[in-house]
């Protein structure tokens, strides 16, 4: 029964838009409830309720946001999709600090990580990658259309006005933020999904906020929406080398995972690359590659049919066909 249901979900997701099942999004921004999960003193992940049960089953969940608190300042990682969800994060910051966040960072331009910027107080300094600002400044209208297709109308996306970064990190750049008794590092490990991918590392707590390049735990797989399989693999490998063994990774969606959770994503990308190359070497067309490169040991994500067949294999085929 469970297998049948997952197949049905995957099939519907395959034929419909990426996140919509029968015109209902997989997660509904009007219904999701975020709860603060304390990882270390002053370091929290805002995780959708139900994640402990649903995430290991491969059900896509809402964006996970982060809150890091120092003696003098605080930082929010990702501002969520709409007003309702942004306010859940802001209310949590108020409870923890009696004030508004000093800084808010977007791990990418993706709307579920950045649309909430406009609901943050003017005093909050927004930190973005240069590429993220460039994208939002030039492609915002198309982006909101795509996001309404994926997350549905009436979820507050209609109201969003772009708010771009006050502080920008260039490609390959890094920055340290002193929050008071705690220094936070902002890093660009290279292209990891959008080219404007920022990672937030809290050294004293050994917590890494990853955003969508680590979309969720196993059996979730990377979404290579902008292609570049090899670079994505290289960047994730760099992240793995950088992290101490006992680090905690807060993914873009779902619940925090141990460092070892990265192995699944690196393994998937390696298999995707190698099997796609092998199919190309045997003369496969794109359609044949999609039917050949099925990676059975990496299945289980409810939207695997869409992410793997429609996004990732075509991206790998285009890249390695050259
Ligand atoms: Zn996301």
111 CA from centroid of ligand 1 (Å): 8
305 CA from centroid of ligand 1 (Å): 18
Residue 261, burial from CB neighbour count under 10 angstroms (0-12, 13-18, 19+): middle
**pLDDT at residue number 3:** 36
251 CA from centroid of ligand 1 (Å): 9
- d(Cα 10, Cα 299) in Å, to the nearest integer? 11
Map tokens 């996140």 to a residue: 19
77 CA from centroid of ligand 1 (Å): 12
The CATH number of the domain where 95 resides is what? 3.60.15.10
Q: Is residue 276 part of a domain?
A: no
63 CA from centroid of ligand 1 (Å): 5
What is the pLDDT averaged over residues 183-199? 98
Length of the chain: 322
181 CA from centroid of ligand 1 (Å): 30
- d(Cα 245, Cα 192) in Å, to the nearest integer? 21
pLDDT for residue 21 is more than 90: no
285 CA from centroid of ligand 1 (Å): 31
Question: Per residue in 284-294, pLDDT tens?
Answer: 999 999 999 99
288 CA from centroid of ligand 1 (Å): 30
pLDDT for residue 70 is more than 80: yes
What share of the chain has pLDDT > 70, as a percent? 93
188 CA from centroid of ligand 1 (Å): 17
Query: What are the beta bridge partners of residue 178?
Result: 183
Three-class DSSP category at 322? coil
- d(Cα 319, Cα 229) in Å, to the nearest integer? 8
DSSP 60: -
Q: Which residue has the higher pLDDT, 153 or 19?
A: 153
113 CA from centroid of ligand 1 (Å): 6
- d(Cα 195, Cα 190) in Å, to the nearest integer? 7
State the pTM of this model: 0.93
Average pLDDT, rounded, for the chain:
93
Q: Which residue has the higher pLDDT, 3 or 174?
A: 174
Query: Is 147 within 8 Å of 196 (Cβ atoms)?
Result: no
What is the pLDDT averaged over residues 115-130? 98
- How many domains does the chain fold into? 1
pLDDT for residue 213 is more than 70: yes
**pLDDT at residue number 7:** 37
What is the pLDDT averaged over residues 96-114? 98
51 CA from centroid of ligand 1 (Å): 15
Query: Cis bond leading into 219, ω under 30°?
Result: yes
Residue 194 CB partners (closer than 8 Å, separation 6+): 108, 109, 110, 131, 132, 135, 212, 225, 226
Category of 263 on φ-ψ map: left (φ > 0), alpha (ψ -120 to 50) or beta: alpha
242 CA from centroid of ligand 1 (Å): 23
165 CA from centroid of ligand 1 (Å): 18
- d(Cα 151, Cα 136) in Å, to the nearest integer? 18
**pLDDT at residue number 292:** 98
Q: Is residue 217 part of a domain?
A: yes
125 CA from centroid of ligand 1 (Å): 21
Q: Is residue 235 part of a domain?
A: yes
Domain range holding 64? Answer: 2-260
pLDDT for residue 39 is more than 80: yes
What is the pLDDT averaged over residues 12-16? 38
209 CA from centroid of ligand 1 (Å): 13
Q: How confident is the model at residue 17 (pLDDT cuts 50, 70, 90)?
A: low
Residue of 88, 91, 143, 154 whose CA lies nearest to 114: 143
157 CA from centroid of ligand 1 (Å): 14
68 CA from centroid of ligand 1 (Å): 19
Indicate the Cα dihedral angle 75, 78, 82, 83, nearest 10°.
Answer: 0
Q: How confident is the model at residue 133 (pLDDT cuts 50, 70, 90)?
A: very high
278 CA from centroid of ligand 1 (Å): 31
Residue of 134, 81, 127 whose CA lies nearest to 107: 127
| Tally of CB atoms within 10 A around 281 | 9
What is the pLDDT averaged over residues 121-132? 98
Query: Is 300 within 8 Å of 254 (Cβ atoms)?
Result: no
pLDDT for residue 13 is more than 90: no
What is the pLDDT averaged over residues 128-133? 98
**pLDDT at residue number 26:** 84
61 CA from centroid of ligand 1 (Å): 9
Q: Is residue 154 part of a domain?
A: yes
**pLDDT at residue number 23:** 57
| Tally of CB atoms within 10 A around 2 | 7
Q: Comparing 8-22, 173-187, 226-240, which segment has the lowest mean pLDDT?
A: 8-22
Q: Is residue 13 part of a domain?
A: yes
- d(Cα 14, Cα 290) in Å, to the nearest integer? 13
64 CA from centroid of ligand 1 (Å): 8
- d(Cα 271, Cα 217) in Å, to the nearest integer? 17
32 CA from centroid of ligand 1 (Å): 14
Q: How confident is the model at residue 25 (pLDDT cuts 50, 70, 90)?
A: confident
252 CA from centroid of ligand 1 (Å): 5
Q: Is residue 210 part of a domain?
A: yes
**pLDDT at residue number 322:** 87
Residue 148 CB partners (closer than 8 Å, separation 6+): 155, 157, 158
Q: Is residue 75 part of a domain?
A: yes
Q: How confident is the model at residue 11 (pLDDT cuts 50, 70, 90)?
A: very low
Q: Is residue 187 part of a domain?
A: yes
**pLDDT at residue number 2:** 35
pLDDT for residue 138 is more than 90: yes
- d(Cα 284, Cα 254) in Å, to the nearest integer? 36
Residue 306, burial from CB neighbour count under 10 angstroms (0-12, 13-18, 19+): buried
Residue 174 CB partners (closer than 8 Å, separation 6+): 185, 186, 187, 188
């Amino acid at each position: 029964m469970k297998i049948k249901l997952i197949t049905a979900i995957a099939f519907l997701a395959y034929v419909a838009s990426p996140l919509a099942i029968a015109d209902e999004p997989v997660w509904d921004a009007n219904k999701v409830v975020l709860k603060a999960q304390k990882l270390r003193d002053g370091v929290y992940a805002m995780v959708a309720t139900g994640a402990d049960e649903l995430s290991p089953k491969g059900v896509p969940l809402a964006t996970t946001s982060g809150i890091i608190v120092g003696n003098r300042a605080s930082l929010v990682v990702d501002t969520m999709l709409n007003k309702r969800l942004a306010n859940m994060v802001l209310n949590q910051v108020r409870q923890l600090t009696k004030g508004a966040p000093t800084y808010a960072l977007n791990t990418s331009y993706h709307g579920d990580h950045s649309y909430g910027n406009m609901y943050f107080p003017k005093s909050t300094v927004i930190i973005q990658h240069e590429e993220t600002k460039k994208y939002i400044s030039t492609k915002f209208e198309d982006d909101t259309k795509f996001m309404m297709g994926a997350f549905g109308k009436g979820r507050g996306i209609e109201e969003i006005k772009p708010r771009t970064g006050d502080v920008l990190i260039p490609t390959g750049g890094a920055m340290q933020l002193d929050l008071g008794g705690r220094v936070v590092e902002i890093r660009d490990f290279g292209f990891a999904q959008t080219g404007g991918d920022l990672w937030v590392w809290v050294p004293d707590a050994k917590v890494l906020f990853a955003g969508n390049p680590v979309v969720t735990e196993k059996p979730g797989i990377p979404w290579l929406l902008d292609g570049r399989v090899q670079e994505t693999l290289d960047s994730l490998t760099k992240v793995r080398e950088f992290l101490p063994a006992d680090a905690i990774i807060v993914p873009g969606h779902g619940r925090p995972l141990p460092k070892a959770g990265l192995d699944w994503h690196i393994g998937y990308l390696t298999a995707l690359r190698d099997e796609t190359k092998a199919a190309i070497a045997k003369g496969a067309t794109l359609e044949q590659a999609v039917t050949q490169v099925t990676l059975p040991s990496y299945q289980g994500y409810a939207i695997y049919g869409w992410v793997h067949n429609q996004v990732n294999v075509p991206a790998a085929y285009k890249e390695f066909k050259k």
